[in-house]
């Protein structure tokens, strides 16, 4: 009796395993590396999922490791590409690249949130798009690549994902603090001080904020986020790019 009662579950179990393997293959394609399956699963396991499923291993140790690998590669790159910058400026550039908001942006580019194993509570509060969860998971994945493939592979992955940010941070003055960078740019262009109009929608446990960045009464960019701060930063980035593009495209003289 027990064998026949469990039989209907077998196809579903096989399908779930196949779906998981397929999704991992998709992620590995985006990363450019094939990882040991159990290691990749651990890198994608948030503590909320682990606690709800009997205390499985979480990705926190891998996150700790990946944070160090990421910091080393970015620091080494900045040191070599800016031989004349003092320590304080190098630290600011590194902080502009290695922060939760920047890491979350890179994670969204990989659609990493779709692969994270989350508990029901985090799932219900929009955890797949929370900057902190996305940033921590990306660091865990970097840690997994380091363990499985070595430092050269992990370094190559960091360069592929973060070199655009490293290059951009050098041109932003305040780094990737977009609100400060926008204020510096508008001051240099004589446009005035940026202002932000923020609205919110959705239930209290899953609010979405929308911000519009205006300078001199003109709207230059909008952004959305899970917090007011995130929405304003995205709006500031959009406005910065719009104003910078208009400024650089004007003919000289």
Query: Could you tell me which residues are annotated as the binding site for Mg(2+)?
Result: 63, 136, 139
Of 178, 165, 184, 154, which Cα lies nearest the Cα of 81? 165
Neighbours of 72 (CB within 10 A): 14
Q: What are phi and psi of 192, to 5 degrees?
A: 105, -170
Annotation says 67 is catalytic: yes
Cβ-in-10-Å burial (0-12, 13-18, 19+) of 186 comes to: buried
Place of tokens 């990749």: 40
Q: Which of 67, 177, 230, 232 is catalytic?
A: 67
Residue 73, C-beta contacts closer than 8 angstroms, at least 6 positions apart: 154, 155, 158, 159, 162
Pair of tokens at residue 49: 């999922």
Place of tokens 């920047």: 102
Q: Are 188 and 243 in contact (CB under 8 A)?
A: no
Q: Which residues pair with 201 in a beta bridge?
A: 208
Annotation says 230 is catalytic: no
Reduce the DSSP state of residue 226 to 3 states and report it.
coil
Residue 64, C-beta contacts closer than 8 angstroms, at least 6 positions apart: 143
Residue numbers belonging to the annotated binding site = 63, 136, 139
Q: Which of 139, 177, 230, 232 is catalytic?
A: 139
Q: Are 78 and 94 in contact (CB under 8 A)?
A: yes
Residue 149, C-beta contacts closer than 8 angstroms, at least 6 positions apart: 33, 35
Which residues are catalytic, by number? 67, 139
């Amino acid at each position: 009796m027990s064998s026949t009662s469990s039989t209907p579950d077998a196809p579903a179990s096989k399908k779930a395993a196949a779906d998981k393997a397929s999704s991992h293959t998709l992620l590995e394609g985006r990363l450019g590396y094939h990882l040991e399956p159990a290691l990749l699963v651990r890198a994608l396991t948030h503590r909320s999922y682990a606690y709800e499923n009997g205390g499985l291993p979480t990705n926190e140790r891998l996150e700790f490791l990946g944070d160090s690998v990421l910091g080393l590669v970015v620091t080494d790159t900045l040191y070599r590409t800016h031989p004349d910058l003092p320590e304080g400026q190098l630290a600011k550039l590194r902080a502009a690249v290695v922060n939760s908001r920047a890491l979350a942006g890179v994670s969204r580019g990989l659609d990493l949130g779709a692969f994270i194993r989350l508990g029901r509570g985090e799932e219900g509060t929009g955890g797949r798009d929370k900057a902190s969860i996305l940033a921590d998971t990306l660091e865990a994945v970097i840690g997994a690549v380091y363990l499985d493939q070595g430092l050269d592979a992990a370094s190559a992955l960091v360069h592929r994902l973060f070199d655009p940010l490293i290059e951009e941070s050098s041109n932003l003055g305040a780094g990737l603090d977009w609100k400060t960078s926008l204020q510096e740019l508008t001051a240099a262009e004589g446009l005035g001080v940026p202002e932000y109009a923020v609205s919110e929608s959705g239930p209290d446990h899953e609010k979405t904020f929308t911000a519009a960045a205006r300078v001199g009464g003109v709207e230059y960019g909008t952004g959305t986020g899970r917090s007011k701060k995130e929405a304003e930063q995205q709006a500031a980035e959009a406005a910065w790019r719009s104003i910078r593009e208009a400024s650089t495209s004007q003919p000289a003289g």
